[in-house]
Amino acid sequence: MKNRIVSIFSGFIIALLCSLILFYLIQKTLLADIKNYIKALKELEQSIVQSTPIFSDYNKTEVSSELRKHLNHDHIAVTRKYSPVENQQNIDKLIALGDLIYLKGGAAEKYYFYNVPKTNRYLRKEAISGLNKLTTRLQQKMDVLFYGGTLKIAITSAIRPADYQKELTRVNFNAVNESTHSSGMSMDIFVDDFYLNTDPYTAHFLSKRVIDLIRPAIGYYLGDALSRQLHTILSQSLIELQREKILYIIYEERQRCFHITFL
């Protein structure tokens, strides 16, 4: 009986020691992975700060001219072939026909919504093709210039029915009576809000779970902290795509956004 008790006690001590050793190793790995993540974020931040001017320094005469080269009349001219969406019923019909596509957003997309009702998160399929070209161009810049990092843009407006636009002109001095938003070919991007993050290697699945919990908040904080530089990167990409005849842009400084119409 005594030997049995000693054996059980010894087994308990061994199991406890093994658990403590395992806990120590996991904790050590977890801390190391988190430190690596923080280090990768700092490297990404510094690479952008050191190589990219803030927008107010970048936005000189030539750039400013490019960002307002095609004003509202040009945007309207290229969307004439699309009948304006008058109301929500028109939107529902175009959705049923497959002419308007829902913008899902979410973790897999390189954009997110900033105060856009779900009923207005639609664009024509031709415009979505242009949006994909824009997000691809932005990611290419991140991969080439900054060795990776995920950049997401904030969409503040997509399709807007004409009846909504009329109501908007009553409360918003900058709103126009005839807007290309009702064509389903235009969208606005907010220039003071971005998502920026990196996806580091993790040695343990628990590290990944912990980091995944904090990554979204850190991504928005970092995007906001570097918004002036990211504003420049976004501007560069838009100017390139405008020269390639993919889209037209208007920089709306008061509204803090880019109005974009896809061609």
pLDDT band at 159 (very low <50, low <70, confident <90, very high): very high
The structure tokens 């304006």 sit at 84
Q: How far is CA 102 from each of CA 10, 99, 136, 245, rounded to the nearest angstrom? A: 63, 10, 19, 24
Q: How far apart are CA 112 and CA 247, in angstroms?
A: 20
d(CA 59, CA 228): 11
Q: What is the pLDDT of residue 9?
A: 44
pTM score, whole prediction: 0.84
Across the range 157-167, mean pLDDT stands at 78
Question: pLDDT at residue 171 above 60?
Answer: no
Question: pLDDT at residue 7 above 80?
Answer: no
Non-local (6+) Cβ contacts of 14 within 8 A are none
Report which of residues 176 and 160 the model is more confident about: 160
Q: What is the pLDDT of residue 129?
A: 95
pLDDT (average), residues 82-107:
89
Amino acid letter, residue 113: F
Q: In sequence order, what are the residues at sequence separation of 6 or more whose Cβ sits closer than 8 angstroms to the Cβ of residue 63?
A: 235, 239
> Going by C-beta distance under 8 Å and a sequence separation of 6 or more, which residues neighbour residue 34?
207, 210, 211
Residues of the chain above pLDDT 70, percent: 82
Whether the predicted pLDDT of 148 surpasses 80: no
Range 1-17 average pLDDT? 49
pLDDT digit string, tens, across residues 70-81: 999 999 999 999
Tally of domains within the chain: 1
Question: Residue 6's pLDDT band (boundaries 50, 70, 90)?
Answer: very low
C-alpha 218/C-alpha 213 separation (Å) is: 10
Question: Is the pLDDT confidence value at 4 over 80?
Answer: no
Report CA-CA distances (Å) from 45 to 196, 212, 247.
9, 19, 29
Does residue 206 register a pLDDT over 80?
Answer: no
What pLDDT, in 10s, does the model give residues 213-237? 888 899 999 999 999 999 999 999 9
Q: What is the pLDDT of residue 88?
A: 87
Question: Across all residues in the chain, what is the average pLDDT?
Answer: 85
Burial (0-12, 13-18, 19+ Cβ within 10 Å), 179 = buried
Which residues does 18 contact at the CB level (< 8 Å), separation at least 6?
none
Pairing of strands 186-197, 150-157: antiparallel
Residue 259: what pLDDT? 97
> Would you say residue 56 has pLDDT above 90?
yes
Quick one: pLDDT at residue 83? 86
Let me know: does 33 contact 204? Beta carbons within 8 Å: yes
- How far apart are alpha carbons 217 and 232 in whole angstroms? 23
Chain segment 109-140, per-residue pLDDT in tens: 999 999 999 999 999 999 999 999 999 999 99
Which range marks the domain in which residue 39 is found? 2-262
- Residue 28 is predicted with a pLDDT of 67
